[in-house]
Structure 1
Amino acid sequence: MTSAELPAELPKVELHLHFEGAAPPEFIRQLAFEKKIDISRIFAPDGSYAFENFVHFLQVYEAATSVLQTPEDFAQLTRAVLEKSAENGVIYTETFLSPDFCGGGDVAAWREYLHAIQEAANRAEVDFGVIMRGIVTPVRHFGPDQAKRTALCAAETAGDWIVGLGMGGDEGKGHQGDFAYAFDMAREAGLRLTTHAGEFGGPQSVWEAIRDLNVERIGHGVRAIEDRALVQELVARQITLEVCPGSNVVLGLYPDFKTHPIARLRDAGVKVTVSTDDPPFFHTTMRREYDMLAEAFGWGMDDFRALNTVAIDAAFCDEDTRARVKKELEKA
């Protein structure tokens, strides 16, 4: 098999990428140095991010994000992230953006940050050939009241570029239904909906996401495999899972790729996609995800083409953008 026939060389669609979590550690270290902020404790001796478990990961994530303080910082981050995405063959990415980190949830400040991010993304699309769209993200452990402010930011900037709302953060804090007001606000503004569930929260968190938030996609969702009725519900509702296998392995949900349930979910008829989550934190890339899945399950080119078709069909973008991306996928 030539390099052109390797699955990892295919153009790719990624639906689950945390913006700040995709920041290369060298980018964050340099910014911290320039701002004279000491966050050396979050790095391992080899310069990578260092954390011990999921809760510690969230703390390290927020520490790294603390050096991102101006719209220009986020513009530079946009270019750095999209350059890495393009290097891994990604041609379309949906990125989780949190107004909590871009102006503290204030709508006017959020507009300034968003303008800088979007301008940088448009330039990166020309330079690197990767299309980015934004999903505004309430942080679950910041609470329902802050989520309402975040949803207002999303509603006020909804359009062809801000295309969805999707909650992240600590699944152990509260219940999905606690955030129904924020999701209803986003829905009324025409935004599409996703939320993290079925990672550390178990199958019940997926049931809550479906019942209480009425989302059309689930971030992770892999622990649905533990509940046959839930798997059947996902198939019946045609809900797409934004699966991040490498992240799940690093955070200890599964010991390795071979035991990861993505193949079983797919075989059961669930719509699954592949993403990196927070790639530098989890020492992964989209190329590595493809390589590891091919090795673990024997998936070939047709399997990965099918995954990308599912992903672009589930993307929250407008139909013109979807058609453009599909055309590029078909060329491969």
Structure 2
Amino acid sequence: MSVFGKVVMPHPPATTVRVDEQQIRALPKAEVHVHLEGTFSLIDLLTLARENGVPLPGPAATIFDISTHADYVAPEVTSGGGSGAGAAGLTGFLRFLDWQCGLVRTAEQAARVAYAFAARQTAAGVRYSDVIVNPTHWNAWRGREFALLDALAGGLDDAEQDGLCRVNIAYSLLRSQSAVDAETIVAELARARPRRVVALSVDGDEKVAGRTGEKFRDAFAGAARAGFHRTVHAGESSGPDGVWDAIDLLQAERIDHGVRAVEDEALIARLVDERISLGVCPRSNVTLGIYPDWGAHPLRRLVDAGVLVTVNTDDPAPMGTTLDVDWAVTAERFGFDLSDMIGFAQRSIDASFADDDLKRDLSAELLTVSASLR
């Protein structure tokens, strides 16, 4: 099979020993590319809809079949990456997330969603998460975005007090926002210092919005001056140019997705040399039509090239997955063994925006747990 002019193996070697979810859950790990907007369970949505008197978009049993939503355009799988069809699928999927988040209308509901996220992460063996929150999806909170952040932080505080996964927030801009809006948001973040907000992000459909690095250059520079980390969605529905922009214009410490970097050897060398990690989400890329199947996905090629790759879920609930499941599938599909997955766990800790003390503790625990599993 050929993808982007490269020959890839559709299946792992037959001798690969399966790494199961129980082993994966035991590994202390972080998840660095997951959107709170994409973590609502079916019971969350049914409860919120009932509380707010909002009709469902279809039968409850098919609520996560996003192809049934009127605003959703199902991707037509092709042999290429980043096709127009894939971009259409991503655009429709983002509309579906808007509908979900519109069900959250009170501080109690927002705190409950945040707490539930931490609980689900804990169940998958995740010990720390940088969760992405893009307030533009949460239409009931327009003009009250910092109140939303405070409510979410309250739920995360309660979760941590109960011994669940520690979670911090990456505040995400939407690509279609203006430079002035972005700079205003960053100035407010620097002034207010909302609890648990540790990073600035930008997300949205690259194919639709086009290159936005220059537009957000000043906002990200302001975030860096204020001491916020920077992570940028790039190299998903469009090619490597967005990844270059994220590094050169937005001072990105980490790239969310970044898989299309595989098409540019110079970019791969830059990522390796500067140890810039990619928060890769293989199931998401396949589901949304960026690649036709797991065999075509370049994750293995990126790892073999020396890129610091982490494996993440992106929007796990509507994609019917959890991080432990996706790690197990990744190991099986790409021929990774337990030692490889321990490496993924360490890279996830290193790539996270957790504080140094937590990183040190998780790394030490990983060393102990790994020795017991071998």
Is the helix fraction higher in 1 or 2?
1
Which whole-Å CA distance do the structure 2 matches of 1:301 and 1:142 have between them? 43
Partner of 1:27: 44
Q: Does 1:204 align with 2:241?
A: yes
Q: Does 1:77 align with 2:77?
A: no
Cα deviation digits, residues 133-182 of structure 1 (max 9, x gap):
11111111234333233323432344882211111112131422211122
Which whole-Å CA distance do the structure 2 matches of 1:128 and 1:278 have between them? 24
The structure with higher relative contact order (CA 8 Å, sep 6+) is 2
1:73-152 correspondence runs (5 A): 73-100=109-136, 101=138, 104=141, 106=143, 109-152=144-187
Shift of 1:62: 0.7
The aligned length equals 329
Partner of 2:302: 265
Q: Which amino acid aligns with 2:236?
A: E
Cα deviation digits, residues 202-222 of structure 1 (max 9, x gap):
111111111211211100000
- On the 8 A contact 1:71/1:116 being kept in 2, the answer is yes
Secondary structure of the 1:283 match is coil
In structure 1, stretches of 5+ residues that fail to align are: none
Shift of 1:4: 8.3
Shift of 1:198: 0.2
Cα deviation digits, residues 25-47 of structure 1 (max 9, x gap):
32022201211123425x77433
- Comparing 2-11 with 160-169, greater Cα deviation is found at 2-11
- Comparing 139-148 with 82-91, greater Cα deviation is found at 139-148
Q: Does 1:326 align with 2:342?
A: no
Partner of 1:290: 327
- On the 8 A contact 1:247/1:278 being kept in 2, the answer is yes
1:282–1:233 distance in 2 versus 1, CA, 3 Å:
same
In structure 2, stretches of 5+ residues that fail to align are: 1-17, 68-73, 75-88, 370-374
Q: Does 1:18 align with 2:35?
A: yes
Which whole-Å CA distance do the structure 2 matches of 1:3 and 1:311 have between them? 19
1:107-256 correspondence runs (5 A): 109-158=144-193, 161-171=196-206, 172-174=208-210, 175-256=212-293
Secondary structure of the 2:176 match is helix
Q: How well do the aligned residues superpose, as a CA RMSD in angstroms?
A: 2.3
Q: Which amino acid aligns with 1:48?
A: F
Which whole-Å CA distance do the structure 2 matches of 1:161 and 1:71 have between them? 16
Q: Identity over aligned residues, as a percent? A: 34
Q: Which amino acid aligns with 2:100?
A: A
Secondary structure of the 1:325 match is helix
- Comparing 48-57 with 226-235, greater Cα deviation is found at 48-57
Cα deviation digits, residues 270-328 of structure 1 (max 9, x gap):
11001100001222211121111111122112111111211211211221222233233
Which whole-Å CA distance do the structure 2 matches of 1:124 and 1:327 have between them? 23
Secondary structure of the 1:176 match is coil
Shift of 1:3: 6.1
Secondary structure of the 2:249 match is helix
